Amino acid sequence: MNEEIKLAKILQTTYNCRIIINEEENKCLFCLKDIGKILNIKNINENKFDHNERELIKTKTKGGNQNMVFVNYNSLLNIFSKTRKSEIIEISNNLNIKINNKIYTCIEAETIKCILDSFNGEK
């Protein structure tokens, strides 16, 4: 079982996330709305995360069949690494993925950009 499927099964059992697993191709799709609930991000569909691989899939819900947005593994990791929610540290530890370096690098880059922007135009 590859890393992607292991992560999917943990997300599915621990966090009750809707996941579509294709074991023949070793690929998974993750329900974006469920990821938003896990990370406590409202309107995750409208957030400016780079969702390279999004698929609209008809899914059974309490309200009947609805079209839900699913993302691939790379987009999921991208969401995890770009979020500023404090929950991500515990979640990444539970999922056994190392994203701390990505989080800190992203925060550092944004801080440096803010500093440079504030001094832009000063002589």
For residue range 71-101, what is the model confidence (pLDDT) as tens digits? 998 888 888 877 777 788 788 888 888 765 5
What are 113-116's contacts with CB under 8 Å, separation 24+? none
pLDDT band (50, 70, 90) for residue 13: very high
Q: What integer pLDDT is reported at residue 102 of this predicted model?
A: 52
**Do 39 and 87 contact (CB within 8 A), yes or no?**
yes
pTM for the whole structure: 0.74
- Is the pLDDT confidence value at 50 over 70? no
**67 near 80, Cβ under 8 Å?**
no
Q: What angle do CA 59, 20, 83 make, to 5 degrees?
A: 95
More confident residue, 58 or 46: 58
pLDDT in the model for residue 25: 84
- Domains of the chain by residue range: 3-119
